Structure 1
């Protein structure tokens, strides 16, 4: 629960509440990364922030539990940042499931199960305990790397060890 619990515990500020200079710089960075990676990124997606960030997160966890790895999560982000779809909407999540040939009813049942809710709460608390304050965050050898622009530093650490 990044915005609801992690941000609160670590002093984070949701994007709409940040100073306008930070919001503007964030938009510039999105543009730069889109160009650099040659991917479509809508700098101001219609459904950001999502009305309900919990539901897509629970569906992502359920898909991982089903052995889908990260594909579902990648598709969720694509729907939000490139396709202008509401990831809080079950129809969007169903579209993703169908695209990945996942039985939506099975996925939905698992996503709303106590098992997945407990994993979600546990992951949230673990993030807080590890002083994680945003995404993406990687932990390697008990050292935190935060942000996509730190991946080269993470790669350096991996090669060094």
Structure 2
């Protein structure tokens, strides 16, 4: 079973087996068992795409959190058609992937971001509440297939 770890040298996010490994980017050798696996949050497409492309700066939830720090963005298997319409209306000049293209970005880890806080009010046009996890430094990564879960979870990679 693999877990997703961030290399302590170059910060590359990668799925690795427990034990000593070499980073696939910088070849730095480290022990995965001394590193905390990254938490993930499952988000439907196209919302995950909007976060990873710098459009959406807040993730709405019905529950609150005190957690701050880096998380992995997991794109679930469900697609929100109303969300796609909202994103297109908010950003008419931006090229947005088709539903077929989105299908290739679902069912696994698609990026990472930093949760900077949790708010009950926001001026962000992306805030619908009742709670919003404020996000920064979002970045897309190549799809790492895995199952999602509710709330924060540690991804398990076969």
Q: TM-score, normalised by structure 1?
A: 0.25
More strand by share: 2
Q: TM-score, normalised by structure 2?
A: 0.25
More helix by share: 1
